[in-house]
Chains A and B, each alone.
Chain A
Amino acid sequence: MIDLGDRATVKFLDSGCALLVCTVSADGQPHAGRAWGLSVVDVDAHLLRLLVEADDAVTVANVRAGRAIAVTATSVRTFHSLQLKGRALSLEELTPADEAKQAQYTSDFLKDILDTSKYAPDVMCRWAERPVTPCFVTVDVSFDQTPGPSAGATIDRGDP
């Protein structure tokens, strides 16, 4: 299991990397979604606070049901990628801190995109306008998801 207290790991997860979320329904149907901010809340408990899309009904329902969840964080600039797998714990009320987190995350994410590409800024900005709802997630296992032959390798410890 990756060290969530490691400075480089925290910095990476706190950056403007793309955040992807997969939850699984009771019938085994996987569901792809996005998140718009992630914070390491408790290193020892491997606890994350994740801002999932509030209008993504399937993700919200799966989180509410405490189902399995995977979160992949990918650097827009380098494609370096880390996948964390565990279980959703609970939906939470949106706080001012969450709103600030989302604003900072979205700003960093869009900056990375616009610095490295020629997408129309207005198109990217409206794409990134999402209502969010926070949830807690516990992480059981982590994987290197960077494209290449090592993609999917389990991470025991060390930097992302």
Chain B
Amino acid sequence: MSDDRSIGLRDLRRCFDGRIPAVVATASAGGVPNITHISLVHEVDSERVALSNQFMSKTSRNVVENPQASVLLVDPVSGSEYRLTIRYERTDRRGPVFERLRDDVDKVAAFSGMQDVFRLRSADIFRVETIEVVRDHDVPAARVSRQQTVGLAACAELAARMSRSVDLGAMVDVALDGLDQLLGYRHSSMMLLDEQGERLFTLASHGFAAEGVGSEIAIGDGIPGAAAQTCRPVRVGALNQLRRYSAAVRRSFEREGAIGPGQDIPLPALDDAESRLAVPAMVKGELVGVLVVESPLVAAFDDEDEAVLSMVAALIAQMAQLERAELDASATAPVEPPAARVDVAHEVKVRFYPEDGSVFLDGDYLIRGVAGRVLWSLVSRHRATGQCEFANKELRLDKALELPGFRDNLDTRLVLLKRRLEERQSPIRIERTGRGRFRMDVTGTLSLETQG
């Protein structure tokens, strides 16, 4: 079991993805040993690794006294095991290595709502002196990347299909369908940033039992929230392990009184999800939303997946920006209210709660917030005047909607509302009829009620 010089850190790459926890052993200056699992070991360069320090641990204190340490790493694919003899060099509290480790620590924190307490304090940098092969096993057939399987042509085809979309809603549908049909991403969702820049809401999803349109998550929470907060892709390849680890850390914080008992962030929509990748959708350097894919396979996504999905997310972001610009520039001509198309046979009960903008249809919750206020405004106008053709511009002038003056996101809220109405098979439907214009159809007679 001597040092094998033919093995380099690059050969151990799979060992650094966190699927199987690494082990680090240190000793104090007095020779007292210490051994523990460590959540993160990162390859810094061909000669160095970095260990994360969240708790000013015994490990960190020991290496200041005695710079020698020993690390065990397991290759999750082959089962091979390696022992590294390493020597402490320095501690980073900023810089690229620190940032990389912090991203991974933030993932754990985001998973259990511990962003305020579970933070990377420092990255301890070690020089690798020897790599010993403890157990050497054959690697199964090399994994073939998704892009190698489907080819760049499929990516180009997806981009072409997306570019033919007439609006944001259609583009998102095309994107999610195409990700499945052309590139094999079976489970995906598109979340958009809300008007306040504080939450993400689901605009569309594909491949899940429940569509979840309108579901929300705070920026910083969960994998999508972490991607939104950092404006960088966030990838987890062993969700089940991450969930158990973050739960253990959270329980420890709760015992210390640092945080109160709370709800975990809901698990991914796939019951058996093991991998999740969230990439930010950016345009002009600003966040528009987050594209998310999931898989039941461990470590299903890699750098190439990040690249492909970032391209798709960028196209969606550009469409969102384009729509916003078009709406801002659209004509303000008054809209003639044509006769409403109403089927009077059925009464549609709409109940509105002004406090949070919640709307219930025939007793069932439909939507809340800006989208809820928009719907209430539409049905109120429809009830009062029979109006069924609307312009975004007139909605923007409605102060009851409480839209922010800058970047109100009205267009995406309308898409969300449209989808939600369709998902619930509601007797109320809205359809885009032109640039900045849409139509509302009601199958029945509206009965409106305000609560609270």
Q: How many residues on chain A are close to B (CB under 8 Å)?
A: 47
- Assess A24 versus B33: contact at CB under 8 Å? Given A30-B27, A32-B25, A32-B83: yes
Q: Is B238 an interface residue (CB 8 A)?
A: yes
Contact in complex: A152, B244 (CB < 8 Å): no
Q: How many residues on chain B are close to A (CB under 8 Å)?
A: 58
Q: Is B240 an interface residue (CB 8 A)?
A: yes
Contact in complex: B25, A124 (CB < 8 Å): no
Q: Is A148 an interface residue (CB 8 A)?
A: yes
* Residues of chain A with a CB closer than 8 A to B26's CB: 22, 30
C-alpha gap A50/B118 in the complex (Å): 34
* Residues of chain B with a CB closer than 8 A to A85's CB: 32-34
Closest to A71 in B: B35
* Residues of chain B with a CB closer than 8 A to A149's CB: 55, 117, 252-253, 256, 258
C-alpha gap A119/B241 in the complex (Å): 11
Residues of chain A from 1 to 50 with CB closer than 8 A to chain B in the complex: 18, 20-24, 28-34
Stretch at the interface among A73-81, A91-99, A101-109: A73-81
What is the total of A-B residue contacts with beta carbons within 8 Å?
156
Contact in complex: A83, B74 (CB < 8 Å): no
Contact in complex: B298, A119 (CB < 8 Å): yes
Interface centre among A23, A79, A120, A126 (most CB of B within 10 A): A79
C-alpha gap A79/B243 in the complex (Å): 11
Residues of chain A from 50 to 79 with CB closer than 8 A to chain B in the complex: 55-57, 67-72, 74, 77-79
Contact in complex: A148, B137 (CB < 8 Å): no
Closest to B137 in A: A126
C-alpha gap A149/B85 in the complex (Å): 27
C-alpha gap A97/B296 in the complex (Å): 40
Contact in complex: B36, A72 (CB < 8 Å): yes
Q: Hey, what's the 0/1 contact readout for B291-306 against A, CB within 8 Å counting as 1? A: 0000011100000000
Q: Is A142 an interface residue (CB 8 A)?
A: no
* Residues of chain A with a CB closer than 8 A to B36's CB: 20, 72, 81, 83, 145, 151
Residues of chain A from 137 to 157 with CB closer than 8 A to chain B in the complex: 145-152
Closest to B69 in A: A30
* Residues of chain B with a CB closer than 8 A to A79's CB: 37, 244-245, 248
C-alpha gap A18/B21 in the complex (Å): 11
Quick one: which of B69, B74, B252 contacts A147, CB cutoff 8 A? B252
Give the distance to chain A from B296, nearest Cβ to Cβ, in Å.
8
Contact in complex: B1, A117 (CB < 8 Å): no
Contact in complex: B70, A32 (CB < 8 Å): yes
Contact in complex: A24, B55 (CB < 8 Å): no
Q: Is B340 an interface residue (CB 8 A)?
A: no
C-alpha gap A118/B33 in the complex (Å): 33
Give the distance to chain A from B429, nearest Cβ to Cβ, in Å.
42
Closest to B2 in A: A57
- Assess A31 versus B248: contact at CB under 8 Å? Given A123-B78, A123-B137, A150-B255: no
C-alpha gap A60/B27 in the complex (Å): 18
* Residues of chain B with a CB closer than 8 A to A29's CB: 27, 68, 70, 85
Contact in complex: A127, B248 (CB < 8 Å): no
Contact in complex: B274, A118 (CB < 8 Å): yes
Contact in complex: B252, A146 (CB < 8 Å): yes
Contact in complex: B135, A70 (CB < 8 Å): no
Quick one: which of A72, A77, A148 contacts B256, CB cutoff 8 A? A148
Give the distance to chain B from A82, nearest Cβ to Cβ, in Å.
11
Quick one: which of B33, B39, B240 contacts A117, CB cutoff 8 A? B240
Residue numbers of A with Cβ under 8 A of B are 18, 20-24, 28-34, 55-57, 67-72, 74, 77-81, 83, 85, 116-120, 123-124, 126-127, 145-152
Can you sample 12 A-B contacts with CB below 8 Å?
A22-B35, A24-B32, A31-B25, A56-B134, A70-B33, A78-B244, A79-B248, A81-B36, A123-B78, A147-B37, A147-B39, A147-B252
Closest CB pairs A-B (n = 4): A148-B252, A22-B35, A32-B25, A79-B248
